[in-house]
Each structure stands twice: as C-alpha cells, then as structure tokens.
C-alpha cells in the first residue's frame, strides 16, 4: 500500500503541462535557439524599461516578447505545419524585420533622451535584440531565396531560352 507521507515523484507529469514544454530537438535547432534568445532579450528589455524613467517605451519589448513567445510555441508545437493557410516564413520574416527596426529606433531614443541607468541598460538590451532579430531575418531570407530558386529550377530551361529569344526588347 502507498504511504501517504511518502512523496510520489514517480507520477508522470500532467499531459497538459508536458505539451507546453518544447521538445529537445527544437531547442537544439538554430531556429529554436534564436527564438529563445529573442524571447529572453525582449523580456529583459521590458523589465529594464519598466524600472526606468522611459516607461513609455516599454510597450515595444512587451509586444515583441509576446510575439516571440507565440512564434516560439507555434514552431515548437509544429502549428506551422498544421496551419497551412498561413505563410509562416513570410510572417516570421516580417516579424523579425519590423522588430529589428523598431528595437533599433527605440534604443536610439532611450540612449539619446533618457539618462537613468535602467534606460541605458534597456537600450543595450535593445541593441542586442536588434542584432538577434537581424540574424534571424537574415537566416529566414536565405531560406526563402533557396526555396524560390528551387521553384525556378523546375521549369524547362529550353522553354525559358526560347521565351528569351522571342521576347521583343529594346535592350538587344
């Protein structure tokens, strides 16, 4: 019989909680590490802005934190493969480009306008976030160009050649 005073560590975790933990293979992937870094740096930037005199700038890292968190779990739980109607690479590319630009601008404002230490720390984290988001959108851009180039090579090269010869161009 079970002893009620003994801790029961041998019980499996609740299925709902284990579903929220991302898989080890995703966390070890480049995309998983970039999303985790975006998530952590956005959260640290948010905390620094909350503690600073630049509280008005805290909404940017909060939105980016939530968006990175959503994207992190969407990729780790493979929602990107289940929801075929959404162009995930394009959505992720737009997310990263907009985040890099916005973090850069907000960090410049925090450095130039505010003098408290927490604002300066938030600006440093913002510049780090800019770099991380820029790396992510560079990786996504490379994947998109490879995908588009692969799509172009499926055409018949002879048909492409005859179309080029038949075209009426002023540049000939």
> In total, how many domains does the chain have?
1
Q: What angle do CA 52, 57, 59 make, to 5 degrees?
A: 115
Residue 43: pLDDT band with limits 50, 70, 90: very high
Is residue 51, in this structure, part of any structural domain at all?
yes
Model confidence at 157: pLDDT above 60: no
Model confidence at 119: pLDDT above 70: yes
Spatial distance between the Cα atoms of 71 and 127, rounded to a whole number of angstroms: 21
Which residues constitute the domain of residue 83? 26-161
Spatial distance between the Cα atoms of 165 and 114, rounded to a whole number of angstroms: 62
- What's the pLDDT at 172? 47
Most confident of 1-15, 24-38, 61-75, 118-132: 118-132
Nearest one of 27, 142, 39, 37 to 75, comparing CA atoms: 27
Spatial distance between the Cα atoms of 91 and 106, rounded to a whole number of angstroms: 22
Is residue 20, in this structure, part of any structural domain at all?
no
Check residues 116 and 24 and name the one with the higher pLDDT: 116
Is residue 11, in this structure, part of any structural domain at all?
no
Is residue 89, in this structure, part of any structural domain at all?
yes
Is residue 65, in this structure, part of any structural domain at all?
yes
Tokens 């992510």, residue located:
136
pLDDT digit string, tens, across residues 127-151: 999 999 999 999 999 988 887 788 6
Is residue 170, in this structure, part of any structural domain at all?
no
- What's the pLDDT at 143? 86
Angle subtended by helix axes 30-50 and 59-76, to nearest 10 = 160
Spatial distance between the Cα atoms of 92 and 134, rounded to a whole number of angstroms: 12
Is residue 99, in this structure, part of any structural domain at all?
yes
- CB burial class (10 A; 0-12, 13-18, 19+) of residue 24? exposed
Is residue 6, in this structure, part of any structural domain at all?
no
- CB burial class (10 A; 0-12, 13-18, 19+) of residue 39? buried
């Amino acid at each position: 019989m079970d002893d009620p005073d003994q801790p029961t560590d041998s019980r499996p975790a609740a299925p709902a909680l284990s579903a929220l933990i991302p898989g080890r293979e995703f966390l070890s992937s480049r995309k998983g590490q970039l999303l985790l870094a975006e998530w952590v740096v956005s959260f640290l930037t948010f905390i620094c802005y909350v503690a600073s005199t630049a509280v008005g700038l805290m909404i940017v890292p909060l939105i980016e934190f939530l968006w990175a968190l959503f994207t992190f779990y969407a990729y780790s739980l493979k929602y990107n493969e289940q929801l075929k109607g959404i162009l995930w690479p394009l959505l992720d590319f737009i997310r990263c480009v907009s985040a890099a630009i916005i973090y850069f601008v907000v960090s410049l404002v925090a450095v130039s306008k505010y003098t408290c230490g927490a604002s300066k720390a938030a600006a440093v984290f913002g510049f780090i976030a800019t770099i991380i988001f820029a790396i992510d959108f560079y990786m996504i851009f490379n994947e998109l160009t490879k995908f588009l180039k692969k799509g172009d090579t499926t055409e018949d090269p002879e048909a492409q050649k005859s179309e080029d010869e038949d075209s009426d161009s002023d540049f000939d």
